[in-house]
Amino acid sequence: MNAINPHIFREYDIRGVAGKDLTESLVFDLGRIFASRLRKELSLVTPPRVAVGRDGRLSSPQLAEKLAAGLAQGGALVDDVGLVPSPGLYFAMHHFKADAGIMITGSHNPPDYNGMKMVKTSRPVYGDQIQELKQALMAEAFEDHPGGAIHKADILDFYLQRLIVDFKPGRRVKVVLDCGNGASGVIAPQLLEKLPGIEGEVLFAEVDGRFPNHHPDPTLPENLHQLRQRMQETGAEIGIAYDGDGDRIGALDHQGKIVWGDRMMILFARQILATRPGATIIGDAKCSQVMFDAIAQAGGNPLMWKTGHSLIKTKMKETGAPLAGEMSGHLFFADRYLGFDDALYATVRLLEIIAQSPATLAERLSDLPEVHATPELRIDCPDEKKFQVMARILQGERDKGSDFSDVDGVRVRCDGGWWLLRVSNTQPALVARVEANTLERLHEIAQEVAALLKPEGVFLPNWE
Ligand SMILES: [Zn+2]
């Protein structure tokens, strides 16, 4: 076996350059190990069932094929659902009552990257579990089992039916969707056709792993230009964009302004809380204070939690939360839906909310206080140092008696705003974000954060 790059085994997934770090033989061996471990873990009499899907990257078909073959050799029954968005794979797990699912996807990373997102119904796959897979792979601890097989299955019709099953039609709404040549393109046009009263068009639905039109990451404003322009040309009142594997949503209002994940959450929370008063609604530590306050005002129980789909899903189960979301556009509905992050389903819910009222998206959020925020600021800090820096800053806030949350890094509430500092899971960096009631306070708070970092020898970048 070739040398394994240990850095591809990350907190929430496995990710690397296809053909270099993530080779066909490595993916095959991971499949064997995953299946045999799953067998043991579940102590099943019959072979475990694993759904496999893939995104539209050029390297994905070969990697998915090898993964399926490896899983079968390790003794799993594989439901290979082919090219689907990540939520389509999660839906397939539900549909086939699979014990686990693996998606070959590079999400929003550059075209030459690819990766594996793994989900088990018994417990989420992240952190130590991924490290254990790495160890087993390095030790070549393979155990093959009989009974494995691969079954190719088409899931898209079932998935589409589930997405639209209880959509409540209302007034006419004109929308533009932008798939960015990502995997959502296999279903977004059909979805748009099936929703009564919703009309519009879909940009870049042709799945193309080279991403020739723009990069499929709706959190970067430069990727929303074409959507904004097409909305203007067609008079659409809302624009919706997806990331490469369709688990994150981005939106533009009728003025072409970005509606971030936490703003969308407010709309969804208000709708859900109307019938489920007191429900817990979860947002990650990057979300605006405006969101947490709006959830409380609407009669909900706002809960701040850690970023990461495995962690969020676990917390949702634990608290019975009907809704959770991340600033980045991962939105999880357990209300009328299955509890995973699905940008296509979020689309259905968003369009339903807009169709139910004469007001536009912007009007429905116009009662919220205006705040100013920095984007997510990446602060270079070596891996061997970042945790100590973080620990000292957290201790400092504790000593000062600050009003803070340490649920994910440290988020400190201060006069007229808050700041967040956390360790990057993926890079030698800290990540910061500041929000304030006024632009002036924003700068002041940012300077306070910079002053905390300076003695540590790390520096807040300029964001303007
Ligand atoms: Zn994604």
User: Residue 235 belongs to a domain with what CATH number?
Assistant: 3.40.120.10
For residue 2, what pLDDT is reported? 54
In 55-112, DSSP assigns E strands to: 77-83, 100-104
**Which domain-ending residue is among 342, 364, 386?**
364
| 168 lies in some domain | no
- 10 Å CB burial of residue 456 (0-12, 13-18, 19+) is middle
Q: How far apart are CA 211 and CA 229, in angstroms?
A: 19
145 and 190 housed in the same domain: no
What is the distance in angstroms between the CA of the first residue and the CA of the last residue of the chain?
48
C-alpha distances (whole Å) from 385 to each of 131, 411, 423, 427 are 21, 20, 10, 12
| 463 lies in some domain | no
| 276 lies in some domain | yes
**Tell me, what amino acid is at 244?**
G
Residue 86 CA to ligand 1 center (angstroms) comes to: 7
190 and 235 housed in the same domain: yes
Q: What is the DSSP letter of 274?
A: H
Sequence-ordered list of residues with C-beta below 8 angstroms from that of 294, at least 6 positions apart, any chain: 266, 269, 270, 368
- Give residue 77's domain range: 6-155
146 and 225 housed in the same domain: no
State mean pLDDT over 272-283: 98
For residue 124, what pLDDT is reported? 74
Residue 389 predicted with pLDDT over 60: yes
State mean pLDDT over 117-122: 88
For residue 322, what pLDDT is reported? 98
128 and 274 housed in the same domain: no
Residue 176 CA to ligand 1 center (angstroms) comes to: 20
| 182 lies in some domain | yes
Residue 149 CA to ligand 1 center (angstroms) comes to: 28
Confidence label for 7 from pLDDT (cuts 50, 70 and 90): confident
The per-residue pLDDT for range 140-196, each reduced to its tens digit, is 988 999 999 999 999 999 999 999 999 999 999 999 999 999 999 999 999 999 999
Phi then psi dihedrals of residue 275, to 5 deg:
-110, -15
For residue 112, what pLDDT is reported? 95
- 10 Å CB burial of residue 193 (0-12, 13-18, 19+) is exposed
198 and 294 housed in the same domain: yes
The per-residue pLDDT for range 182-236, each reduced to its tens digit, is 999 999 999 999 999 999 999 999 999 999 999 999 999 999 999 999 999 999 9
**Closest C-alpha among 8, 118, 9, 103 to residue 56:** 103
The per-residue pLDDT for range 327-352, each reduced to its tens digit, is 999 999 999 999 999 999 999 999 99
333 and 243 housed in the same domain: yes
| 427 lies in some domain | yes
Half-sphere exposure of 329 (CA within 13 A, CB side): 26
| 317 lies in some domain | yes
Residue 353 predicted with pLDDT over 80: yes
Sequence-ordered list of residues with C-beta below 8 angstroms from that of 445, at least 6 positions apart, any chain: 414, 416, 417, 418, 419, 434, 436
Residue 122 predicted with pLDDT over 80: no
264 and 328 housed in the same domain: yes
Catalytic residues: 107
442 and 355 housed in the same domain: no
Report how many domains make up the chain.
Answer: 3
For residue 447, what pLDDT is reported? 95
Residue 243 CA to ligand 1 center (angstroms) comes to: 5
State mean pLDDT over 101-126: 90
Residue 341 CA to ligand 1 center (angstroms) comes to: 9
CATH of the domain at 415: 3.30.310.50
Phi then psi dihedrals of residue 13, to 5 deg:
-160, 180
Mean per-residue pLDDT of the chain: 95
**Closest C-alpha among 163, 200, 154 to residue 344:** 163
| 164 lies in some domain | no
For residue 407, what pLDDT is reported? 95
CB pairs under 8 A, 24+ apart, for 162-166? 162/91, 162/338, 163/187, 163/191, 163/344, 163/345, 163/348, 164/191, 164/194, 164/195, 164/348, 166/336
For residue 383, what pLDDT is reported? 87
197 and 290 housed in the same domain: yes
Residue 263 CA to ligand 1 center (angstroms) comes to: 19
Phi then psi dihedrals of residue 213, to 5 deg:
-95, -50
Residue 54 parent element (H or E)? strand 49-54
Residue 227 CA to ligand 1 center (angstroms) comes to: 19
358 and 404 housed in the same domain: no
Q: Which residues pair with 53 in a beta bridge?
A: 82, 103
**Which domain-ending residue is among 364, 382, 415?**
364
Residue 393 CA to ligand 1 center (angstroms) comes to: 31
Q: What is the DSSP letter of 371?
A: -
The per-residue pLDDT for range 46-97, each reduced to its tens digit, is 899 999 999 999 999 999 999 999 999 999 999 999 999 999 999 999 999 9
| 75 lies in some domain | yes
C-alpha distances (whole Å) from 449 to each of 195, 377, 390 are 47, 12, 12
Residue 458 predicted with pLDDT over 70: yes
Residue 245 CA to ligand 1 center (angstroms) comes to: 5
The residue behind tokens 């979020």 is 346
Percentage of the chain lying above the pLDDT 70 cut? 99
Q: What is the DSSP letter of 110?
A: -
For residue 426, what pLDDT is reported? 74
Residue 1 predicted with pLDDT over 60: no
State mean pLDDT over 310-331: 95
State mean pLDDT over 296-321: 95
Q: How far apart are CA 58 and CA 406, in angstroms?
A: 41
**Which domain-ending residue is among 129, 155, 181?**
155
107 and 234 housed in the same domain: no
Tokens standing for residue 339: 């509890």
State mean pLDDT over 353-378: 94
Q: Which residues pair with 150 in a beta bridge?
A: 78
The residue behind tokens 């909305």 is 231
299 and 189 housed in the same domain: yes
For residue 45, what pLDDT is reported? 80
The residue behind tokens 């140092």 is 385
Q: Order of strands across the sheet with 323-325?
A: 301-305, 280-284, 323-325, 331-333
* Dihedral sign from CA coordinates of 150, 313, 110, 212: positive
